[in-house]
Amino acid sequence: MEQDKTTDAAVIEDLFRQQGEAMQALFAPFLPTADAHVPDPMDLQHWAMSAAKLQKMWLDFGVEQVGQSESILARASGAEGLQAKWNKWLSEIAGALPLANPDTRAKLWEDSVTLWSAILEQYGSGLQPRKSGAPDLPRKDRRFADPRWREQPVFALIHQTYLLLAERINAMANDLSGVSPERHEQIRFLTKVVTDALSPANFPLTNPMVIERTLETRGENLVKGVEHLLTDLRKGQLTHTDPDAFELGRNLATTPGKVVHETPLFQLIQYTPTTETVLAVPLVIFPPWINRFYILDLNPQKSFIRWAVEQGLSVFIVSWKSADAAMAEVLWGDYIRAQVEAIDVVRARLKVPAVHAIGYCVAGTTLAATLAFLARRGEADKVASATFFTAQVDFEKAGDLKNFIDDQQLQLLESLATDGFLDGRYMAATFNMLRGRDLIWSYVVNNYLLGEEYPAFDLLHWNGDTTNLPFKWQKAYLTELYRDNRLVVPDSLVIDGTPLDLHRIATPLYIQAGREDHIAPAESVWKLTRHVAGPWKFVLAGSGHIAGVVNPPSSGKYQYWLNDGTPATLEEFIAGARETKGSWWPDWISWIVAQDDARVPARGRRVPGGRGDKVFGDAPGSYVKSR
């Protein structure tokens, strides 16, 4: 029995290894790409120098790790270790899918041979593409868009065989029966993770661009790539962009403003108006505390904050503090109380009865709880309207993140927590895994194998600028909301003796979702409309969790959909929706003005930092810079 289990766990590895070895044995003489040249013997000294550099870097790295209580590799891979985790995933997939079935394996082999024959027919006797043009390969994938994947039959066979096997294995996972829906989703997700990792593009000996670059540079690309790899291992995080290209306050988060309030949990920033008059009702933005707030203020062209100020809004935003040991006991109630405090500070500062509020992602989930909290206490009129950016309250259809909340994953997170908080790099790695092709493997190829320099990309810089999380709250969030879905159960959750019931929310709502959002799926965001009592407007934006939100009108990108009817489901909404090209921001500001169009002069406390106004420094503040 144990031997069968071991055999089953090796099925996937065998499938790829056997076919890879067969193709390498058959086509080994043709491995260099069409434009590559075998190195001249005179270049051997250069190759030797590259090998010596590689050896020295690894030896130096090994010396650094000696004496450390826990190595960088161990911290990066978690309690089980990379190899153990990988083997476990392979075992789970092999145990769930019919890969060990002789008929299944025979069919895969038969289809592979048929594929090889069809591909080789398109190449001449010299194993070169026909003169009539590039071969027409049956499977297309942007990972293999470079012409060098088609210039020689060996690489065409390698990547087309991979695509065939990945397609069939993922289809098996999608069609799996006899398991619970939760287990089915987990197997489906793990299968995609594993098959993405096994792409021939990710390995130097099966990637024609890497082979060609290595021959051209005599191995210098691998030296540079290992430098990048060791740097990332030392910091415990994959690098996506040039770490020296951006600086807060210089070319990021540059909208002028002042920190006007500070607590141990957050700083409140008020931005300087640029119009002579402003809307009487101010705006308070609550960004997620799992990321830095400046996603809404990347640069002047992309900044939602700057744009909102230019529309005549008095804009405030909360900058959450990255968790440390002093925040070990912070729970969800603390964030709800913080949102209420920020609302009250703005109301008192500007002497207004109410504010408009925006909640992004998890802070939107908390904003819904805050609205329910205020409604139960008879204080709902403190918020004139609430806008939700890609926020979930009903987690029944919460997407791939639900694959990380079983008991085993929660135990792993607990083992990774230190001094009561979870290092933000672990959450960053989790989110990267949700889009592994784009946020992991493309960078492995470009930065580690090809040895390319990092680009200067502000969005990717923000994506890697992680924040630590209070572990008690993070665990409660994953169990009480994601796993148990208690927020939509009336009075199931209680904050400061106040039961939360979303059905008491009568505040006008503007609900935005991203059509391609992989973190907060549109179907899940839509469910907010089913749990509130007041009026709401739903907008479905093109793109995903970030680009669907950060889409200024000047960019001319994407589109959005509205439906003036009364759809009961997202499918009904889409079926009757009208599409508008470009950004949804103008529609939002029109909706805000429709709530209350009264304006007042932009003077006094509407301008932060004036005479007698106590402030705590300039925007973007100090909390956003804490690590």
Q: Which are the catalytic amino acids?
A: 361
Q: Crossing angle for the helix pair 332-350 and 362-376, nearest 10 degrees?
A: 70
Is 568 buried (19+), middle (13-18) or exposed (0-12) by CB count in 10 A? exposed
Per the CB < 8 A criterion, the answer to whether 367 and 339 are in contact is yes
C-alpha 213/C-alpha 222 separation (Å) is 9
Longest dimension (CA), the chain: 86
Helix or strand holding residue 581 (H, E)? strand 578-581
Distances (CA, A) of 303 to 283, 308, 391: 15, 9, 20
C-alpha 504/C-alpha 532 separation (Å) is 7
Cβ neighbours of residue 584 closer than 8 Å, sequence gap 6 or more: 512, 539, 541, 551, 560
Helix or strand holding residue 561 (H, E)? strand 559-562
C-alpha 490/C-alpha 131 separation (Å) is 70
Residues paired with residue 357 on neighbouring β-strands, in sequence order: 284, 386
Radius of gyration of the chain measured on its C-alpha atoms: 27
Token digits for 131?
């003169």
**Distance between alpha carbon 215 and the CA centroid of its chain, in Å?**
35
Phi-psi map region of 574: left, alpha, beta (phi>0 left; psi -120 to 50 alpha): alpha
Per the CB < 8 A criterion, the answer to whether 524 and 399 are in contact is yes
Token digits for 191?
């299968």
